[in-house]
Structure 1
Amino acid sequence: MPFVQTLLYRTSLLRAQISISPALLTVFSIAFMFGVDNSTFWYIASDVFSGHLFSLMGYMAAVFCLTLAAFSLFAFRWTVKPFLISMLILAAMTSYYVDTLGIIVDRDMIQNVMVTTVAESRHLITLGYVIHILAFGVFPSLIVMWVRIRPQQRVWAAVTPIVTFVISLALATGLLMVDLKSYASILRERKDFMSSYQPGAPLVGAIRYAKMISRSANLVLTSTGMDAKAGAAYDAPQKPMLTIVVAGETARAQNFSLNGYDVDTNPELSKLPVINFSNTHSCGTATAVSLPCMFSKFSQDSYSFEKGTSTENVLDVLGHAGLNVEWWDNNTGDKAIAARFDTRRLTNLKNPEFCATGECIDGIFLEPLKEYIASVNKDTVLVLHQIGSHGPTYYQRYPAEFERFKPACRTAEFKKCTPQEITNAYDNTIAYTDHILAQTINMLAANDGLATSLIYVSDHGESLGESGLYLHGAPYFMAPETQTHVPMILWMSDAFQSRFSIDESCVADQRDKALSHDNLFHSLLGLLDIHTAERNPDLDIFTPCKTNVEVAKL
């Protein structure tokens, strides 16, 4: 009897099942995504077309038709459901980050996602995110799965998607032509507008990312600075040189008290003889772009993924000159920057003091660094890649005793925290970076047997809610200064200044000069007295500050 009841129930459910054509199912699915997954898109549209209702309606209808034209290419009986389900899930995933954090999912953001680690990405999967995906992705996908595709004649089933494509494209073109001049002007001026459209923007970004990876797949590595030679500073017997380059993570200059921030986030560095460069800007807004760019010879304007992948960087040039180069990582890897050198990965170590959450905070560097400094017996450049202030879980980037600014946000869901709590947590990460840098400098200063220096520069900044934006990764053309204005700090021991003929006061005079990641390649070569045709003296901040004029001009 129960079996019969179940059979009757299933039969009645099948009879109640809606029967629909692939084209109509596509239209309904687009309408759902258009209305539900595009809050930011509609918000920007209401601002852009304020007071021009008919222009707004015309443009939105054109976007709808363009989407229908693209989606209709998959509106065949056996492809329509898998395709629409994937689009519904994608739109739900990306709309959450666009609408809650102001993140634009473009090619660079997709690149950043592709190179991130599971440990890093898991912080973005919150309860709010899961609920959003279930409500706006999974539930409508179940409805798509439940509806029945209406049987069609073979010819009509094959022709309908093509006809839909042609008609939709024609309608979109006609609607845009009605006021093409105004629409073109809007798209030029408000590039954030279409960048917020879901799932269109991430689809375009994914296609551009795939093309970028395809173009770079067979690139041959081009040598850089093969003519590099160590200068006069290496001629006579000297104390071994150790320069530590600290690649910071997500530190924005605005929250460094060294730059005038009214919260004391640099209590230790402020007591040390460091030179703070207050006007430095990044090459990109995300690690995947900024990190390789800052070590490359290319400027921000000319850098590309293909160029960075296929061209040796400043570490290679230092290696060609005979220096020992190493990379220590407590982040998502070296992005192939140190592919030709020894690397040491410190993240995810079984260290209860610094790695209790499954990720390591930057204190993990200190003990091995102390031993390493004592062992250096040749001219060395060591790069430390920090986890720094990477969000959204700022509270996991510092030990409990460094929670100086309270109350601090202790969740990845910013909507549960006040703006001040978010800022407090972030400021705690900056204060901890201050401590790590100061401790490293103190260790270098205490070693009389070495000529030592330290350069710190962050890869990019961070948004903390300004203008509704959080985290980082905004397209550079629209990125706020909070994501591009980064801290840069230099410290040199007396022995280092003497050996490399550097006038510290001259360098300090450039503390407010407009600088960027463009300067790092050339300045590192100039600082370490490496002669090569690749070094551009105009981008080397040490060019005017060498007491040995001959070295500066070479």
Structure 2
Amino acid sequence: MIKKKLIGGMSYVTFTFLLALYFTVVVNLPVYKALIGIFSQLETVKLGFVLTIPLFFLASLNFLFSLFSWPKISKPFFIILLILSSIVSYAGFNYGVMFDYDMIINIMETDSSEASSYLSLYSVIWTLLIGVIPALIIYKLPIKPITNPITFITAKFVSMFISLVVVGLIAAAYYQDYASVGRNNSYLKKVIIPTQFVYSTSQYVKDTYFTTPQPYKQIGLDAKQSDATLAQAQTKPTLMIMVVGETARAQNYELNGYHRNTNPYTRELDIISFQDVTACGTATAVSVPCMFANMTRDNFNRSQADNQDNLLDILQRANVSQLWKENDGGDKSVAKNITKIEIDRSRKDDMCNGSTCYDMALLENIDQDIADLKGNRMITLHLIGSHGPTYYQRYPSNKAIFQPDCPRADIENCSQEQIINSYDNTILYTDYVISQMIDKLKQLDEQYNTALVYISDHGESLGENGTYLHGIPYRFAPEYQTKVPLMVWMSPSFQQTKNIDYTCLKQAARKTGTYSHDNIFHSMLGVMDVSTQEYQAQLDIFSQCRNKFATEVTKNNN
């Protein structure tokens, strides 16, 4: 009896096959959802090809899982893999999220407060049913001990060989169909679980923990403010407020032609809204470092950006006094060398609920923040803006203008009308925050030459084509995730001091296919009158409307 108990249980080959079958049928639901969308747009689809897809996944996963199915490591490895895969499955099926390298970076840099916004009863139930309970079954499952290593290796080899034969036969019969669908929908490989997220995570771990860090590089060592600007600072300094938005998409801005009144507070403030601006990335971890770096989207490298000076560092070197105020879970290493204030989101009052704060909290003590700086100065406000999925937590009840909204985290269980209403409320509230900051700048007009620049990091999908949130790999991302608002307000004294033709700037803002995050680094250097060899006038949005300064900078740089 004891002997039978010892030799009883499931073989490793059977265990691996059943696990591959479970991943094929259940965990990879996001893949089948994506395929249904693809096939629905095709005129004809071969039935045989469609039927072989699950078999192809099963054979491929059985082969891959067999590589990790060994005594002592199988259970812990697959238990962890299954739980993580259930979370990936939930995000992929319900939001269309793809876990590529950039998304892994974004996840690793997400703080606990931000992460908690994704928790909902639905997400917990999904993870329990698809990940945790099957993982417990694996933990309890008896697996037959290996009594003959040769038999074990032979069985494993035969299983892997059969898997390869199945893959080969399918490829021989339907190669053109697989190639066509894969070539025309290359994002599909990023949806398959667990291959993509495991690969991306391993690359992140390798780059973060097993790669020698790049030496830090200082750039813009020649940076200096113009003599005229320094002289002006003695009597009436420049005060620039740069507002970095979160998850605001340009398509929902009334000032950009949206049919709803989402900009009721700024539309009468003589603010300029640029009509067509493209983001550097579709996630904060990419876009924020990119917009402050002396790189374009085409050559941006996060590791390099983290290890060299950025816009803020160069401005500080040129003695432009700096402050970063944070309400969005982190500056992504952009403000690592300057003074930084983080809003305490653990407090509970009319601005904060213990885990998140409204963006008006950034304006608390703003008078003292400004007074504490010296000379020409710039304050950067990092908003939580329209960060989802808990859009309803981004605005107070008196700004919940568009109804009915979606007062829950699992937005996939709200109607699209509710989701859009909630999102538009966040845009409206951001508009209110900007207007309040402009009002404050107007009050300070006698002391400072004031201006405000607002730009969002990336956009957001609100259910279009079944996609929600953001973070889709850039070449697959819809414009809802890549088009962002850029708004500029300048006091009359700022316009005069900086020699800016405001009418010209309004005309320039109407251009399409011209502006992006690539312009921010150079535009902010230019408008703050900082000359350096790093500055490129052709990427300065403002230079086209202030030729006098552009000529002076060119002369200084030569």
Short-chain TM bin: over 0.9
Shift of 1:535: 1.2
Residue equivalent to 1:441: 438
In the alignment, is residue 145 of structure 1 matched against residue 143 of structure 2?
no
Counterpart-to-counterpart distance in 2, 1:215 and 1:17: 42
2:24 counterpart of 1:27: no
Amino acid at match of 1:198: I
Alignment of structure 1 residues 327-338 onto 2, 5 Å: 327-338=324-335
- Could you tell me whether the CA contact under 8 Å between 1:390 and 1:397 is conserved in 2? yes
Q: 2:112 aligns with which of 109, 118, 130?
A: 118
**Alpha-carbon distance between aligned partners in 2 of 1:16 and 1:463, rounded to the nearest angstrom:** 54
Aligned pair partner of 1:281 in 278, 281, 294:
278
Matches within 5 A, 1:208-287: 208-214=203-209, 217-238=212-233, 239-287=236-284
For 2:456 and 2:334, the matched residues in 1 are separated by: 16
What's 1:205 paired with?
A: 200
Q: Structure 1 CA distance, aligned partners of 2:348 and 2:373? A: 25
Question: What per-residue deviation string (whole Å, max 9, x for no partner) do you get for residues 258-293 of structure 1?
Answer: 111111111110010111111011111111111101
**Preserved CA contact (<8 Å) 1:232 1:529:** no
Letter aligned with residue 534 of structure 1: E
How is 1:94-109 mapped onto 2 (pairs within 5 angstroms)? 94-109=88-103
Deviation at 1:47, TM superposition (A): 5.2
Structure 2 gap ranges (5+): none
Q: Which residue matches 1:4? A: none
Matches within 5 A, 1:44-63: 44-46=34-36, 48=38, 51-63=45-57
CA–CA distance in structure 1, aligned partners of residues 348 and 190 of structure 2: 42
Task: Give CA-to-partner distance per residue, 1:458-489, whole Å, 9 cap, x none.
Answer: 00111111111111111111111111110001
Q: Deviations over 1:232-260 (max 9, x none)?
A: 43243441111111110011111111111
Corresponding residue for 2:535? 535
Please tell me the residue identity of whatever aligns with 2:405. Answer: A
Structure-to-structure mapping, 1:121-520, within 5 angstroms: 121-152=115-146, 153-158=148-153, 160-161=155-156, 164-165=159-160, 167-169=162-164, 171-173=166-168, 175-214=170-209, 217-238=212-233, 239-348=236-345, 350=347, 352-447=349-444, 448-513=446-511, 514-520=514-520
Structure 1 residues 184, 221: CA separation in 2 closer, same or farther (over 3 Å shift)? farther
CA distance in 2, matches of 1:412, 1:402: 19
Q: Distance in 1 between matches of 2:289 and 2:70?
A: 43
Alpha-carbon distance change, 503 to 105 in structure 1, aligned in 2, over 3 angstroms: same
Write the distance in 1 (CA, Å) between the matches of 2:179 and 2:223. 49
Residue 159 of structure 1 and its aligned partner are, at CA, apart by 5.2
**Does structure 2 conserve the Cα–Cα contact (< 8 Å) formed by 1:282 and 1:485?**
yes
Give the number of equivalent residue pairs.
543
Inter-partner Cα distance in structure 2 for 1:180 and 1:222: 49
Residue 24 of structure 1 aligns to which amino acid in structure 2? T
Identify if the C-alpha distance between structure 1 residues 47 and 498 changes in structure 2 by more than 3 Å, giving closer, same or farther. closer
Displacement after TM superposition at 1:174 (Å): 5.2
Return the alpha-carbon distance in structure 2 between the equivalents of residues 73 and 298 of structure 1: 41
Cα deviation per residue 1:476-508 (whole Å; 9 max; x = unaligned)? 111111111100011111222222222212221
- Name the counterpart of 1:6: none
**Whole-Å Cα distance in 1 between the matches of residues 53 and 412 of structure 2?**
32
Query: Is 1:43 aligned with 2:33?
Result: yes
1:359-395: CA deviation from partner (whole Å, max 9, x where unpaired): 1111101221133235544111111111111111111
TM (normalized to structure 2)?
0.92
Q: Which moved more, 1:433-442 or 1:69-78?
A: 69-78
State the Cα distance separating 1:173 from its structure 2 match: 4.6
Taking a change above 3 Å as real, the CA distance of residues 347 and 291 of structure 1, as seen in their structure-2 partners, is: farther
The alpha-carbon deviation at position 66 of structure 1 amounts to 2.5
Q: Name the CA distance, whole Å, in 2 between partners of 1:223 and 1:213.
A: 21
Question: Would the aligned equivalents of 1:18 and 1:147 in 2 still touch at CA under 8 Å?
Answer: no
CA contact (8 A) 1:543 1:553 kept: no
Seq. identity, % = 36
How big is the shift at 1:192? 2.4
3-state SS in 1 of match to 2:219: coil
Of the candidates 75, 78, 86, which is equivalent to residue 84 of structure 1? 78
Unaligned runs of 5+ in 1: 1-10
Using a 3 Å threshold, how does the CA distance of structure 1 residues 275 and 47 change in structure 2: closer, same or farther? closer
SS at match of 2:495: helix
1:439 shift after superposition: 0.6
Q: Deviations over 1:100-131 (max 9, x none)?
A: 11111222111111111111111212111111
Q: 2:306 & 2:33 partners in 1: Cα distance? A: 38
Contact 1:250 1:389 survives alignment (8 Å): yes
Q: Is the 8 A contact 2:49 2:177 kept in 1?
A: no
How far apart are the structure 1 equivalents of 2:7 and 2:84?
A: 26
Match of 1:553 in 2: 554
When residues 233 and 66 of structure 1 are mapped into structure 2, their CA distance, relative to the original with a 3 A threshold, is farther
Per the alignment, in what secondary structure is the counterpart of residue 137 of structure 1?
A: helix
Shift of 1:182: 4.4
RMSD: 2.3
Alignment of 1:521 with 2:521, yes or no, is yes
CA shift, 1:78, in A, is 1.5
User: How many Å separate the matches in 2 of 1:235 and 1:439?
Assistant: 28
- The separation in 2 between residues aligned to 1:318 and 1:373, in whole angstroms, is 16
C-alpha distance in 2 between matches for 1:253 and 1:46 = 30
Q: Partner letter of residue 55 of structure 1? A: F
Change over 3 Å in CA distance of 1:512–1:211 after alignment to 2 = farther
Q: 2:331 is paired with a residue of what secondary structure?
A: coil
Opposite residue 189 of structure 2, the aligned amino acid is M
Structure 1 residue 215: Cα displacement: 6.6
Q: Distance in 2 between matches of 1:476 and 1:62?
A: 28
**Mean Cα displacement is larger for which, 465-474 or 165-174?**
165-174
TM-score, L = length of structure 1: 0.92
1:16–1:22 distance in 2 versus 1, CA, 3 Å:
closer
Q: In 2, Cα distance between the equivalents of 1:115 and 1:357?
A: 20
Letter in 1 for 2:188: F
Aligned residue identity for 1:486: V
